[in-house]
Amino acid sequence: MTAPVRLCTKPEFDPELWFADPGTRERALAIRTCAACPFRYECAEQAMTEEFGVFGGIPPEAIDRAASIRKMRARERKAHLAAQRAEIVALTADGMSKAEIAAKLGVSDTTVARIRRAA
């Protein structure tokens, strides 16, 4: 298995992109690139006190980097739970048992049961 790549270190990207002025096309590209980076959480957390530069997709003018990180995590968790819920519903419709679904998705029987009840 290869280690994930920090997208901002790829040769096709100018490192200055992450320090572009607010409102510029370059700043927007840096933010979009970070959104696809496998290091975005660690990067954002390590840069909590940075005054300059986009880290983890969060620009320095964000009033509260910590709040931005929490929002980013909450959005991704919500999307993950919605996908998991849809998969449990689909596997249930396919006739899989609670235990089979739990094993396949790596979740507990209780989680499967809770989502089935709510569906």
Residue 68 burial (CB count, 10 A): 17
Q: Cα(29)–Cα(15) distance, rounded to whole angstroms? A: 12
Least distance (Å) between residue 109 CB and ligand SF4: 36
Binding to ligand SF4 by residue 55, rule CB under 6 A? yes
Contact (CB, 8 A) for 45 and 56: yes
Q: Cα(11)–Cα(2) distance, rounded to whole angstroms? A: 18
Binding to ligand SF4 by residue 19, rule CB under 6 A? no
Q: Which stretch binds ligand SF4 (CB under 6 A): 3-11, 74-82, 83-91, 102-110?
A: 3-11
Binding to ligand SF4 by residue 27, rule CB under 6 A? no
Q: Cα(81)–Cα(73) distance, rounded to whole angstroms? A: 12
Q: Which stretch binds ligand SF4 (CB under 6 A): 20-28, 29-37, 63-71, 77-85?
A: 29-37
Binding to ligand SF4 by residue 72, rule CB under 6 A? no
Binding to ligand SF4 by residue 69, rule CB under 6 A? no
Q: Which stretch binds ligand SF4 (CB under 6 A): 21-29, 33-41, 68-76, 77-85?
A: 33-41
Angle, alpha carbons 73-53-17 (nearest 5°):
105
